[in-house]
Amino acid sequence: MTIERMETKARMSRIVKHNGVIYLCGQVCADATQGITEQTQTMLDKVDVLLAQAGSSREHILSATIYIKTMQDFAAMNDVWDNWVPQGFAPARACVMASMARETLLVEISIVAAQK
Q: Model-level pTM? A: 0.95
Is-contact 23 50, C-beta < 8 A?
Answer: no
Looking at residue 93, its pLDDT comes to: 98
CB atoms within 10 A of CB 52: 12
Looking at residue 12, its pLDDT comes to: 94
- The tens digit of pLDDT for each residue in 36-92 reads 999 999 999 999 999 999 999 999 999 999 999 999 999 999 999 999 999 999 999
Looking at residue 80, its pLDDT comes to: 98
Domain encompassing residue 9: 3-114
**Count of structural domains, the chain:** 1
Specify the amino acid at residue 4.
Answer: E
What percent of the chain clears pLDDT 90, i.e. is strictly above it?
98
Give the β-pairing of 92-97 and 61-68: parallel
Q: What is the mean pLDDT of residues 8-34?
A: 96
CATH number of the domain to which 49 belongs: 3.30.1330.40
Tell which phi-psi region holds residue 60, choosing left (phi > 0), alpha (psi between -120 and 50) or beta: alpha
Looking at residue 1, its pLDDT comes to: 75
